[in-house]
Structure 1
């Protein structure tokens, strides 16, 4: 078998004058794995006065030259490349190129040693920066939306009643069944828990006040806003995000139209009208659910239930609850539209920003509701 067909290998021989390293066979990528194992075993055994015999060297490529550099080191490889009698000109040029590339290669710096506390603080800092970016972007988008809305208000020709009606149907009419059913069940649960606890104190009649207060002030608008945040904000983000991914928004701008006027304002106005109506439905459904439980468990008739509500629950509680609805509606719609405009162009981005819209909407609704509750408590409303 000729030398060109022999798999590459290296062998260290002992001679009278100096040890000899014989390099034989093909040093190519096809034989890289066994050659690398041999190189690893021989590298530490090569002394200072060793001679290198390359007479039986077969084929050589860059992978083999890289292994020779690892075996011999930079100085020995440079001496071998300079010896015109040992190798041909092409192979010496290849060895010089590989040696130069290996010498100029910059080792990657080792990652700095971190600590658990440092990692936690780093994540906290990144989260705070991300939160700041979201707040700034939301504030800017709210300003753009209000500016466009006021400008359009003075120009009736630019009103889009068809888009408003279509969005109003999707956000209000189609959401009535789920809002009514959910709040009815929650009202029943609240009345059941109130009746169970208050019966121990002989105050079962106050279950009526509990249901009325909770749904008029908090549960009605809060549950409705959470449902709308999960149902409508995600729809707004997916719709606008898909348009952005398909470059339809760019086409709208090319046509000389404003995407805010065309896509955002009809959705915001529709939700501003829809959420107060849905909140009223939720209040009624929750109270009806509580009324049913009171009638079955406490023998409080619907007439007596409504009489207690009329005598003990003032109109101010209803006004406090219904006043929150437009605020929640505006924030939910703006967040949903903003996340749609932030889609980068892929289906994965649409899904990520849809999830982000729902999470942000629910978060801001709960935060604003808590702040409003504290404010109303301090104002004694």
Structure 2
């Protein structure tokens, strides 16, 4: 049989058998592929001589497997003693690899199984997240207890700066929002109670709702969206810029330096904002009662003074420090979880807002059940 091409591998008939010669390499792959396709597979009983091959690589070995057969080449050491051990090993490896069956495709799981698997992954992630939050709360509380009897370690300047940021600058938005919600509650109460001729109890409805629930809850939700996100973004940017690593390299405690001023400032600011929210909400309800129900402001204040026990105010204001602590800690821990990219900063900032609002509403529901069972 004529040669395929100068220097390219050849397949020739010789003494009733086949002789394979030349270069079986990637550079001659197109020519070799055409020759192998033209010759077709060699019958298993046909003698084959491989000792005249000059050069062979993995591409040429794959074509030899196609020409001679993978099963026969896996035993090449038994019938091709003229080949060097290295070439025998190459041909055996390529043949064994091509002999292996393709991996079967895994059956697509049902939608129910996929949904349950996704639910399991989300539950596990939530459990890990809550364990990390509880651990961070423990670290913050231990650091706070250690620093309380040591006034020289208090960081007054950052505390005042964060107090202004979280408290003073948030007063207008808290007052406006609670004022509008108070007016809405009064409108709804008057609409419903008018059918029973009991519009005078709109005063009680507004007072109870804002002293016990709405005042502190609305202030906490606003701070969760406004301040927790700010804490997460600030600490996340510091983490991304390796500033927190620099603080640790200086031998300082990042929790004491960065977290405690924010937590303490939040615990001071939220009760004040909750009180402002209570006053603004009640004032909004007072204006609605004055203009729509002909209840004078003096009568409104008199009902508040005579009919509304003061323990409702204490119940509402007592929840503020706990809400503040949880919001500040979640904002800080999400900031510390940033990995170093701008995308991570945005992701954990959003996560801090969602977690803070969820935890505030959850704690408020638990507190409402507790106070109801205690008869407070």
TM-score grouping bracket, smaller chain normalisation:
0.7 to 0.9
* 2:199 match: secondary structure: coil
Shift of 1:95: 4.5
Q: Distance in 2 between matches of 1:373 and 1:70?
A: 77
Instruction: Determine if contact 2:75/2:92 at 8 Å carries over to the other structure.
Output: no
Match of 2:371 in 1: 376
Shift of 1:115: 3.9
Match of 2:299 in 1: 304
Deviating more after overlay: 74-83 vs 245-254: 74-83
Q: Distance in 1 between matches of 2:131 and 2:218?
A: 27
Q: Distance in 1 between matches of 2:134 and 2:217?
A: 23
Match 2:184 to one of 189, 208, 211: 189
The runs of 5 or more residues in structure 2 that have no matched partner are 10-15
Question: What does 1:279-318 align with in structure 2 at a 5 Å threshold?
Answer: 279-318=274-313
The answer to whether 1:160 aligns with 2:155 is yes
Match of 1:132 in 2: 127
Distance 1:241 1:189, change over 3 A: same
Distance 1:377 1:78, change over 3 A: closer
Match of 1:346 in 2: 341
Q: Distance in 1 between matches of 2:196 and 2:184?
A: 19
Question: What does 1:199-348 align with in structure 2 at a 5 Å threshold?
Answer: 199-348=194-343
Q: Distance in 2 between matches of 1:46 and 1:285?
A: 95
Instruction: Determine if contact 1:29/1:64 at 8 Å carries over to the other structure.
Output: no
Q: Distance in 2 between matches of 1:134 and 1:106?
A: 43
Q: Distance in 2 between matches of 1:204 and 1:264?
A: 48
* 2:275 match: secondary structure: helix
Distance 1:195 1:360, change over 3 A: same
CA offsets 1:65-84 (integer angstroms, 9 cap, x no match) = 44664676412555889769
Distance 1:192 1:27, change over 3 A: farther
Match of 1:99 in 2: 95
Deviating more after overlay: 133-142 vs 91-100: 91-100
Equivalent residue pairs, number: 369
Q: Distance in 1 between matches of 2:71 and 2:58?
A: 18
Q: Distance in 2 between matches of 1:31 and 1:185?
A: 80
Instruction: Determine if contact 1:29/1:61 at 8 Å carries over to the other structure.
Output: no
Shift of 1:224: 1.0
Shift of 1:46: 8.7
Match of 1:11 in 2: none
* 1:293 match: secondary structure: helix
Match of 2:12 in 1: none
* 2:294 match: secondary structure: coil
Cα root mean square deviation, aligned: 4.2
Instruction: Determine if contact 1:29/1:63 at 8 Å carries over to the other structure.
Output: no
Q: Distance in 1 between matches of 2:299 and 2:228?
A: 40
Q: Distance in 1 between matches of 2:319 and 2:149?
A: 26
Instruction: Determine if contact 1:225/1:325 at 8 Å carries over to the other structure.
Output: yes
CA offsets 1:93-150 (integer angstroms, 9 cap, x no match) = 86455335545x7965754664444333333333332232222222221111111111
Q: Distance in 1 between matches of 2:221 and 2:340?
A: 28
The answer to whether 1:180 aligns with 2:205 is no
The runs of 5 or more residues in structure 1 that have no matched partner are 9-16
Distance 1:70 1:237, change over 3 A: farther
Shift of 1:199: 1.5
Deviating more after overlay: 328-337 vs 281-290: 281-290
